[in-house]
Amino acid sequence: MQRNANDVKVGKFPFTANAKARILGESGGLVKIVSEKKYDEVLGMHIVGPRATELIAEGCSALELEATAESIAKTIHAHPTLSEAMMEAAEDVAGHSIHQ
């Protein structure tokens, strides 16, 4: 099924606002989550930045389990970790990210 821009929501979170990335001195990049507007199902994500290969597994699990951005946002993510960027991007899908 082909979708257009009106069918999706996007949330982004920059690593410059992530405590662990700043601790590592590697704060370039971001996490972006694209979800379906009607049901909030995650359609895909972009991860560019420190240890991106370590974060891909969470994205793959979300896609395989047909997760919603809300379910990712409500999942506990330890602090300080790079994976918090996934949670914050998911929060941003709904306009609720607080650490931009």
Active site residues: 79
Token output for 57: 């597994």
Note whether 78 and 1 are within 8 A (CB): no
What H or E segment, with its residue span, contains residue 58? helix 52-64
Neighbours of 25 (CB within 10 A): 7
